[in-house]
């Protein structure tokens, strides 16, 4: 979860493609990311996990901008009923030079899903706050390690493919020589 718009920028830049990004629609809020296991999609997110992420975003939403108003505004966004939470794969986030710090767009609006949060559920927010572990990971290093791992997987797959093709050609040649 991004603590401010500058931390959100770091999260945007270093999110993994299979991370799922959550944000309150049309209000300022924290950027919350859910890291899915490789091979899983948004459709695989358990309902209770989706509810947790949406409640976390709602609890950290604000309805106005400006440092003097932040605390009051956070109360307003947090207490607003029927908030729409948007979520999409991080790979669908679009950032251009003319956008404000922390602001994003989408490459494909069809990949953006919405969930309605009728009201804040304190039991969920309190549980999440109690189990929250504040860490400061090196996001760029995590992304670089993931990219290196992916490159290794692609290389291994290509090696297997070449070996398989070579064996098939040799088998075809043996069949023709008979």
User: Tens of pLDDT along 1-15?
Assistant: 666 666 767 777 778
Task: Please count the other Cβ atoms lying within 10 Å of the Cβ belonging to residue 37.
Answer: 7
Residue 109 belongs to domain spanning: 5-136
Same structural domain, 111 and 173 = no
Mean pLDDT of the chain: 81
Task: Evaluate whether 62 touches 74 at the Cβ level (below 8 Å).
Answer: yes
User: What's the distance, Cα to Cα, between the start and end of the chain in Å?
Assistant: 66
Q: Read off the pLDDT of residues 83-110 as tens digits, 9 standing for 90 and up.
A: 889 999 989 988 888 888 777 888 999 9
Same structural domain, 105 and 142 = no
Same structural domain, 74 and 110 = yes
Q: What is the pLDDT of residue 73?
A: 45
Q: Read off the pLDDT of residues 133-175 as tens digits, 9 standing for 90 and up.
A: 777 777 788 888 888 988 888 999 999 999 999 989 888 888 8
Same structural domain, 86 and 35 = yes
Same structural domain, 63 and 128 = yes
Same structural domain, 131 and 145 = no
Q: How far apart are CA 28 and CA 142, in angstroms?
A: 27
Same structural domain, 131 and 158 = no
Q: How far is CA 108 from the centre of its chain?
A: 15
Residue 160 CB burial class (10 angstroms; 0-12, 13-18, ≥19): exposed
Q: Read off the pLDDT of residues 39-70 as tens digits, 9 standing for 90 and up.
A: 899 999 999 999 999 998 888 776 534 444 44
Same structural domain, 83 and 155 = no
Task: Evaluate whether 58 touches 86 at the Cβ level (below 8 Å).
Answer: no
Same structural domain, 102 and 142 = no
Alpha helices for 15-138 (secondary structure H): 47-59, 70-79, 122-131
Task: Please count the other Cβ atoms lying within 10 Å of the Cβ belonging to residue 49.
Answer: 13
Helix (H, G, I), strand (E, B) or coil at 67: coil
Same structural domain, 41 and 63 = yes
Alpha helices for 34-138 (secondary structure H): 47-59, 70-79, 122-131
Same structural domain, 103 and 153 = no
Tokens of 94: 């679009």
Q: What is the pTM of this model?
A: 0.69
Same structural domain, 100 and 34 = yes
**Counted domains in the chain:** 2
Closest CA relative to residue 28, chosen from 89, 86, 74: 74
């Amino acid at each position: 979860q991004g603590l401010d718009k500058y931390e959100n920028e770091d999260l945007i830049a270093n999110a993994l493609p299979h991370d799922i990004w959550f944000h309150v629609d049309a209000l300022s809020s924290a950027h919350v990311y859910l890291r899915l296991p490789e091979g899983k999609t948004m459709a695989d997110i358990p309902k209770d996990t989706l509810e947790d992420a949406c409640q976390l975003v709602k609890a950290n939403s604000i309805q106005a901008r400006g440092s003097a108003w932040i605390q009051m505004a956070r109360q307003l966004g947090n207490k607003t009923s029927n908030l729409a939470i948007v979520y999409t794969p991080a790979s669908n986030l679009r950032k251009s030079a003319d956008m404000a710090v922390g602001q994003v767009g989408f490459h494909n609006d069809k990949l953006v899903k919405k969930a309605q949060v009728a009201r804040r559920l304190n039991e969920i927010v309190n549980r999440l706050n109690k189990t929250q572990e504040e860490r400061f990971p090196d996001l760029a290093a995590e992304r670089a390690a993931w990219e290196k791992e992916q490159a290794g997987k692609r290389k291994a797959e290509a090696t297997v493919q070449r070996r398989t093709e070579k064996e098939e050609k040799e088998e075809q040649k043996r069949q023709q020589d008979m």
